[in-house]
């Protein structure tokens, strides 16, 4: 579970550092948006998932979700996933935009380039590999996964 969540947490930390460099309250707002997007994911998507209420959810959201949200219809998972997956997009889109803003101010800033590249490597390379290797392998939603079966 830690392995599945770690890359996501790292992208949130890198994103927060990027926004801290712009103006520190933006880092707090960014982290609040990330937390909100996780809660929305748990409320809108997880109740329809086969891993809801089980300890087989790779990220652990499925267990936490049962504390706050009622179960949904499992056969609608694919439709619900496609409809609501955008709730996690801010965590992916905002940090590169923030880094872009900083690089417009000073395109030679090595720390900003390092943060941007680190964000892209962890978020767009390591995280999908970890998900495919661990989460997706054991997933019971495979047959109707919106990303397609393995």
Residues at the interface with ligand SF4 (CB under 6 A): 45-46, 49, 51-52, 57-59, 61-62
Comparison of 62 and 98: residue with beta carbon closer to ligand SF4: 62
Taking the complex as a whole, the smallest distance from the CB of residue 55 to ligand SF4 amounts, in Å, to 10
Taking the complex as a whole, the smallest distance from the CB of residue 108 to ligand SF4 amounts, in Å, to 40
Q: Which long-range contacts (CB under 8 A, 24 or more apart) does 98-105 make?
A: 98/15, 98/18, 98/19, 98/22, 98/26, 98/30, 99/18, 101/22, 102/18, 102/21, 102/22
Comparison of 103 and 140: residue with beta carbon closer to ligand SF4: 140
Comparison of 17 and 41: residue with beta carbon closer to ligand SF4: 41
């Amino acid at each position: 579970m830690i392995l599945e969540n770690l890359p996501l947490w790292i992208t949130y930390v890198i994103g927060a550092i990027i926004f801290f460099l712009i103006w520190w309250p933006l880092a707090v707002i960014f982290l609040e948006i990330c937390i909100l997007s996780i809660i929305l994911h748990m409320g809108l998507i997880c109740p329809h998932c086969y891993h809801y209420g089980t300890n087989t959810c790779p990220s652990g959201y499925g267990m936490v979700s049962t504390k706050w949200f009622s179960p949904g219809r499992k056969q609608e998972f694919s439709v619900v996933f496609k409809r609501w997956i955008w709730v996690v997009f801010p965590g992916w889109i905002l940090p590169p935009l923030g880094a872009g803003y900083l690089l417009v101010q000073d395109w030679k800033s090595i720390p900003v380039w390092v943060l941007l590249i680190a964000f892209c490597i962890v978020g767009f390379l390591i995280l999908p590999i970890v998900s495919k290797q661990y989460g997706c392998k054991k997933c019971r939603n495979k047959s109707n996964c919106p990303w397609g079966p393995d």
